[in-house]
Amino acid sequence: MILATLFFAVTSLLLFFLPHRIRYQYIILWNRFNIWWLAITCNIHHEIQGLENMPDGPAIIFSKHQSTWETMTLPLIFPPQVWILKRELLWVPFFGWGLALLKPIAIDRKAGRNAIKQIIEQGRARLKEGLCIVFFPEGTRVAPGAKVRYKMGGALLAEAVRYPIVPVTHNAGEHWRRRGFIKHPGTIKLRIGPPIDTTDLDAAQINQITQEWIETNLVDISENGNQPLS
C-alpha cells in the first residue's frame, strides 16, 4: 500500500492540468489496486447489499467508519465524490498533494462555527457540480461495538441544501481493525440504505434517523452481533 501510494501520488501530480473527472478516474486506480491486493494477500473480500438504492444524482453519503477499508472502497461503489477532511491531511507529502487534486472539502476542525460554514458553502458548490459528498458522522474510526454521538456537520449541510442522504453501514472493523496491522480473512458486508428525504427534517432529526438506520443494520450484518472485539 505504501509503495502504491508513492507511485500514484507522484504520477497523479503530473495530471494537475486535466479535468477533475479524468484525475478522479486515474487516482481511484490506487483504490482498486489496494482492494485487489488485500484480497490476494489477506483473503479479505466483500459483498455489497442494496445496490438498488444507489443515488441517481448528487447525494450526501453517511457512512459507518470502522476501518481504513471503507475509505478505499466507497469511491469504487458510488459516483464521483468528495470528502470532508481535516486540512492537515493535505500537508502530508505526496499523499496529501494527490488528495488535493480530488477537490475535497478541507476544514479547520478548531474553527468552530466557521468550519460548519465552510462545509455548507463548499458542500453546496460540490453538489451543484454533480458530485456526491461523503461524511463519516462519527468523526473518527470507531471499533466494533463502541458507540459515539454522531457529529452535526453532515446533518446541517443536508438541512441547508435539502439533498437526499444515502446511509451506508458495514462490518469492516471485524477484518481490518482500526490502528491494527494484522488483517483477519473473511468477507466484509457493506449495506446501502434507501435514500432519506431531508425536505421536512431538521438537522437533529436527520442525524437521529440516519444513525438509527446505520446502527440497526450494522447489528444485522455483523458477524459477532456488533459486540466489542477482544
Confidence of residue 166 (pLDDT cuts 50, 70, 90): very high
Instruction: Determine, yes or no, domain membership for 229.
Output: no
The per-residue pLDDT for range 18-29, each reduced to its tens digit, is 998 999 999 999
Residue 137 belongs to domain with CATH number: 3.40.1130
Lowest mean pLDDT among 101-110, 116-125, 168-177: 101-110
Q: Does residue 226 lie in a domain region? A: no
Enclosing domain of residue 40: 2-221
Residue 196 lies in a domain: yes
Residue 35 maps to a domain: yes
Confidence of residue 230 (pLDDT cuts 50, 70, 90): low
Contact residues for 51 (Cβ-Cβ < 8 A; gap 6+):
192
Domain count, the chain: 1
Residues 47-69: b if buried by 16+ CB within 10 A, e if exposed: ebbbeeeebeebbbbbbbbbbbb
Please list, in sequence order, all residues whose beta carbon lies within 8 angstroms of the beta carbon of residue 220, skipping any fewer than 6 positions away: 191
Residues 52 and 191 sit within 8 Å (Cβ to Cβ): no
- Compare 133 and 139 and report the one with higher pLDDT: 133
List, in sequence order, every residue forming a beta bridge with 166; answer none if it has no partner.
61
Cα–chain center distance at 18: 24
The answer to the question of residue 63 being in a domain is: yes
Mean pLDDT of 204-222: 96
Q: Is residue 157 part of a domain?
A: yes
Position 169 pLDDT exceeds 60? yes
Q: Which residue has the higher pLDDT, 26 or 96?
A: 26
**Could you tell me the pLDDT band of residue 96, with boundaries at 50, 70 and 90?**
confident
Please enumerate in sequence order all residues whose Cβ is within 8 A of that of 36, keeping only pairs 6 or more positions apart, or say none: none
**Band (2; pLDDT cuts 50, 70, 90):** confident
The CB density around residue 200, as the number of other CB atoms within 10 Å, is 7
End-to-end alpha-carbon separation of the chain, Å? 26
Q: Supply the pTM of this predicted model.
A: 0.91
| Per-residue pLDDT tens over the stretch 134-154 | 999 998 999 999 999 999 999
Determine, yes or no, domain membership for 61.
yes
> Is residue 197 included in any domain, yes or no?
yes
101, pLDDT greater than 70: yes
